[in-house]
A and B are shown apart, each in its own frame.
Chain A
Amino acid sequence: MWLARMKTVKLRFAVMLAPLVLFVLLTFDLPVLTMLGWSFSNPTPTVRHYLYVFETPVYLKVIGKTLRIASLTTISCVILGYPLVYWLRGLSPRGRSICLVLVLLPFWISILIRTYAWIVILGNDGIVNRVLIAMRLVHQPVQFLYNELGVLIGMVNVLLPFFVLPLYAAFSRFDERCFQAAASLGGSRRAIFWRLFLPMSGPSVAASATLVFILSLGFYITPAVLGGGNVTMIANMLDVLINTLPRWETAAALSTILMITILILYMVNYRLRSGFSN
């Protein structure tokens, strides 16, 4: 009796979920599968598109550049974000929520606007260069934009909250009594940080950093705007391959490579997260 009722309930859920499942299948999974199919067909099954990607220096160069920019972005986020979150921990609850709102604030502004705002701030005639010249620190405007530096600044700005928020959530789960115990045993603040807090935070830092790294691999707008056409990442190259050349099979092969890389990284991220929550 009870079993039968469970079955009806389950079936009802299945019926309610069917439209969503069908929608996702038709509009998301099907196109992704079609793309996978393209990357392996010519129109007969082949792996030549993959061979082409790996044999052409240009593609390898762009993949390398993307990995480099993504790594630099991640490292910058860790260097800037870790002290911030550590400092947040020590604040009063009120101060903490104010700071968190400040961290979250950029989320409510469109990424396009945030990216263009950097042009106003960092341009030759921008605030930063004017101040630097007025203070006689430099004679000529510093070239912040339209190179890798500009792209890096823009990406760190967008991705910092993605590092700070999960890390903050992880830190707030730490058991305060551990640190109290360490202090009661005579540990100095420095010793507690280096020998207890830092090792404890390791897995969560790694998890947040992988998340930032994954997100930065697919960046399109920031390199397009702040790179001025001088900095090409994988997503920008996909745009060229799809919209300009058009060489859709190569684009499909590259997307597949990118997707597999990201799936592997997600697995790493998942392992790390489940590792430290246990």
Chain B
Amino acid sequence: MKTASLCSATAALVISCLSLATVMHPTPAASEPAKNFIVGDSGGASHDAAVEAFFKPFAERTGIQVEYISPTSFGKLRAMVASGNVPVSLWDLNGRTYEQAVSLGLLEKLNWDQINPLPMFPEMRREYGFGMSYFSTGMAWKKGTVPIETWEDFWNVKKFPGKRCLPDRPDYVLPIALLADGVPLNKVYPLNVDRAFRSLDRIAPDVSVWWTSGQQPTELLADNEVAYCMAWNGRIMSKPGLEYDYNQALLDITFWGVPKGAPAGQVEAALLALRDWTIPKKQAIYAERVFYPGNSPQLTEHLSDQLRDKMPTSPENKDRQLLSDSKWWFQHGDEVERRWQEWKLAR
């Protein structure tokens, strides 16, 4: 008798657990925008600027609440989509990870009619990606350190002593490894991966830290832990004591993508917010704070001359930088990522 009641109690518990699980995963209704959505971004200075320029005014105007998680990584996106539990409606990607995500089918197609954008640069308007801003990844150091001009200098530890700091990502490090090995800017793509890794073997002993979060380079430079870093221009330029150089830097685009399986109602709300990201006045507020210019051809009219020259997209700065070949990354991204990890682990 008792055993029977124990069994039925256990069964009831299991059933209630299961039904709870179904309640927690409601099927999305697509007809109406939800009252909230979640954004995944890299955090830090650019996040603060994004909230101030775009998301906060949007929430005040529409009553749609925006929640945030950070930092983002490609692996996180991949794991999230693979698990089928996707709470996030917008995810930030760069040129390389965008291509990789498209090739692996991790993103939803964007409904551009629904976004209804103001004029945008054509390269910012993609089938699966909404280009939000340009950014640059290049050489940085603390004021008072001997300035360097090329990646060959960065690699030259004898002439420019001190430890180095590089990102823990092949898409940033492989191109500059070739530049450091004497490959001219216009010959970097298609990447000679073997040569890049050979070049990396030379600098690796002097790399103190392979950074994973954009905040690390600023801290390591400020604390005299390293002499030269490869870092994002916005993070460095928004800190008064640090110097950034556009020479031979990598010019890239940050995209918003919608992860596959994101809740439809929330995605609809998120797309409403994306229209704000095409308004040049708002982009000016953003660019003033983090030096990441947005997707509008009219943006420059809203920036002061001085600020315009500091942007990674100013004609003088743009010509000195390397544009990433997204096609190449689309084809080779996965294989290079694997090799990168093995190279790092093997040391």
Contacts and interface: CB of A to CB of B under 8 A. Distances in A.
Interface stretch (A42-50, A105-113, A159-167, A239-247): A239-247
Contacts of B224: 123-125
Contact of B6 (A14, A61, A143, A242): A14
Interface stretch (A15-23, A93-101, A179-187): A15-23
Contact of A243 (B73, B344, B347): B73
B2 A146 contact: no
A35 interface: no
Contacts of A14: 6
B217 to A, nearest CB: 12
Contacts of A8: 2
A146 B208 contact: yes
Contacts of A11: 2-3, 6
Interface string B65-96: 00000000111101100100000000000000
Interface centre among A26, A57, A58, A228, by most chain B C-beta atoms within 10 angstroms, is: A228
Contacts of B3: 11
A22 B209 contact: no
Interface in A2-18: 8, 11, 14-15, 18
Contacts of A119: 223, 225
Given A125-B223, A237-B345, A244-B337, A146 B76 contact: no
A22 B168 contact: no
Interface centre among A57, A229, A243, by most chain B C-beta atoms within 10 angstroms, is: A229
Given A18-B13, A26-B17, A123 B225 contact: yes
B346 A146 contact: no
A97 B14 CA distance: 48
B196 to A, nearest CB: 18
Contacts of A208: none
B9 A244 contact: no
B34 interface: no
Interface string A55-68: 00111011000000
A210 interface: no
Contact of A18 (B9, B75, B163, B168): B9
Interface residues of A, number: 31
Contacts of A145: 208, 225
Interface in A30-45: none
A145 B209 CA distance: 10
Contacts of A123: 223-225
A230 interface: yes
A1 to B, nearest CB: 17
A74 interface: no
A58 B340 CA distance: 12
Interface string B311-334: 000000000000000000000000
Interface string B222-258: 0111000000000000000000000000000000000
B160 interface: no
Given A125-B223, A146-B208, A246 B345 contact: no
Given A229-B211, A229-B212, A245-B337, A57 B346 contact: yes
B114 interface: no
B110 to A, nearest CB: 25
B10 interface: yes
B305 interface: no
A9 B338 CA distance: 58
Contacts of A26: 17
A232 B337 contact: no
A125 B219 CA distance: 12
Contacts of B209: 146, 228-230
A228 B226 CA distance: 12
B125 to A, nearest CB: 29
B210 interface: yes
26 contacts: A11-B6, A15-B6, A15-B9, A18-B6, A19-B13, A22-B13, A26-B17, A57-B346, A59-B345, A61-B345, A123-B223, A143-B163, A145-B225, A146-B208, A146-B209, A228-B210, A229-B211, A230-B347, A237-B345, A240-B345, A242-B75, A243-B73, A243-B79, A244-B75, A244-B341, A246-B82
Interface of A: 8, 11, 14-15, 18-19, 22, 26, 57-59, 61-62, 119, 123-125, 143, 145-146, 228-230, 232, 237, 240, 242-246
Lowest 6 CB-CB distances: which A-B pairs, in order? A229-B210, A228-B209, A243-B75, A244-B75, A146-B208, A125-B224
Interface of B: 2-3, 6, 9-10, 13-14, 17, 73-76, 78-79, 82, 163, 168, 207-212, 223-225, 337-338, 341-342, 344-347
Given A14-B6, A143-B208, A242-B75, 17 more contacts: A22-B10, A26-B17, A58-B345, A62-B345, A125-B225, A145-B208, A229-B168, A230-B207, A230-B208, A230-B347, A232-B345, A240-B341, A240-B345, A243-B79, A244-B75, A245-B75, A246-B75
